[in-house]
Each structure stands twice: as C-alpha cells, then as structure tokens.
C-alpha cells in the first residue's frame, strides 16, 4: 500500500502557522471526523484522510487551507498542522503550497473540486471500508485506474463533476483507492454532515 505518499511535485514555501481564527472551524470539523474514525492512521502508522477549507487569496479565488501531510495520526490538530495551497497545475503534476507543513497528498483532488465548483467552501476525504463498499457505483465513482493524488485522479473527478449529478449529490467514491470517499459542500458543517449521514 502506498497510502500517504505525495505523488505530485510540490513547491513548498515554509512559513509560520496561520491564525487560529482562520482555522478554528476547520480544526473542529476535522476533530469530528477523527473521533468517528474516518480520519486517522493504520496500525503501520500511515495516516489517512484530510479536510480543507476554501481561503481565497489575491490572484487565486480557489486557494484553500488543508490538513498537512502525515497528520492523520495526530489526535488534536493545531494551526501548525495546516498548509495553504496557492496554485495547482494538473498537466505538470505540480502544486504550490505554503505554511509550517507540506500539504496533504490528496491536495490535487481537493483543488479540482474548488476550481470546478465556485460555490464549494469545504472538502473532506475520509476512509471507511463499509461506506466505500456500500456506495461503490451507487454514487459517482472515479475510474478504477486512477490512483490517489495523481493527475489521472484529478481528471477523473473533473469528469464526474461535469458529466454526472455529483454537483448535486456532493459525494463520490474512489474506485482505485480502496476505502476512499470524498464529500464537499457549501460549508464545513454540510460537508461533515454528508459523510456522517452515510
């Protein structure tokens, strides 16, 4: 299993942590998913799951805060555990981020949702085998050949957003990433609610 490994070229500018006032709601939403066992770590220590919140910046309305790489096993996150993704280039498999930690390995998947859906404010990627099995091909499902954190996965998500009812259902399964489920919404509360209701 290659869970948790970053597959894109990351240009990371290390900076101090962002203000708690920017991240408080995101930290609370992540805690709900962590306590439900939907974000966490495997016995091997490899973390899974991530959550993000749109944070427009000058020149990029689709920038977002996201939990950092290898934070799944951290019981309680702080601002030191979040990065700001400022630019994504799918074709070049390249991502720019800044903050005290490098952005999550699933950042490219989050990025395409924000880019394709200007109304979306939050995105979460969780792991749950039972949910994954029950939803597989019953909700929009990414291509089986697309693995997590790759341009192929990003392209598969774009295809679902443009050619299925995903913009309405706001929930999809990653066939090529066992246990992987994504949800998004117009708020953190809606996003977490979609997951917990399934």
- What are the C-alpha distances in Å from 122 to residues 11, 48, 182, 187, 188? 23, 18, 11, 6, 5
List, for residues 102-137, the tens digit of each pLDDT value.
999 899 999 999 999 999 999 999 999 999 999 999
Q: Are 33 and 194 in contact (CB under 8 A)?
A: no
Cα–Cα distance for residue pair 197/189, rounded to 1 Å? 12
Please state the domain extents for the chain. Answer: 9-196
Average pLDDT over the chain, rounded to whole?
Answer: 94
CA 104 to chain centre: 8
- Residue with token string 């939403």: 29
Of the candidate CATH numbers 3.40.1080.10, 3.30.70.120, 3.40.225.10, 3.40.50.2030, the domain formed by 9-196 belongs to 3.40.225.10
What is the reported pTM?
Answer: 0.95
How confident is the model over 65-88, as pLDDT tens digits?
Answer: 999 998 999 999 999 999 999 999
CA-nearest of 63, 102, 108, 96 to 83 is 102
């Amino acid at each position: 299993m290659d869970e948790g490994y970053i597959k894109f070229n990351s240009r990371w500018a290390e900076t101090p942590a962002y203000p708690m006032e920017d991240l408080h709601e995101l930290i609370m939403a992540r805690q709900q998913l962590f306590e439900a066992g939907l974000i966490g770590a495997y016995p091997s220590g490899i973390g899974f799951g991530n959550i993000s919140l749109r944070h427009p910046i000058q020149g990029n309305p689709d920038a977002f805060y996201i939990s950092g790489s290898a934070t799944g096993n951290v019981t309680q996150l702080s601002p030191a555990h979040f990065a700001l993704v400022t630019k994504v280039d799918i074709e070049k498999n390249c991502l720019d981020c800044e903050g005290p930690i490098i952005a999550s390995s699933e950042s490219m998947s989050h990025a395409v949702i924000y880019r394709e859906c200007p109304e979306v404010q939050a995105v979460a990627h969780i792991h749950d085998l039972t949910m994954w099995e029950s939803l597989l091909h019953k909700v929009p499902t990414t291509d089986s050949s697309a693995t997590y954190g790759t341009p192929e996965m990003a392209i598969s998500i774009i295809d679902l957003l443009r050619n299925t009812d995903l913009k309405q259902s706001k929930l999809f399964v990653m066939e090529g990433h066992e246990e992987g489920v994504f949800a998004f919404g117009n708020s953190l509360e809606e996003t977490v609610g979609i997951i917990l209701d399934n």
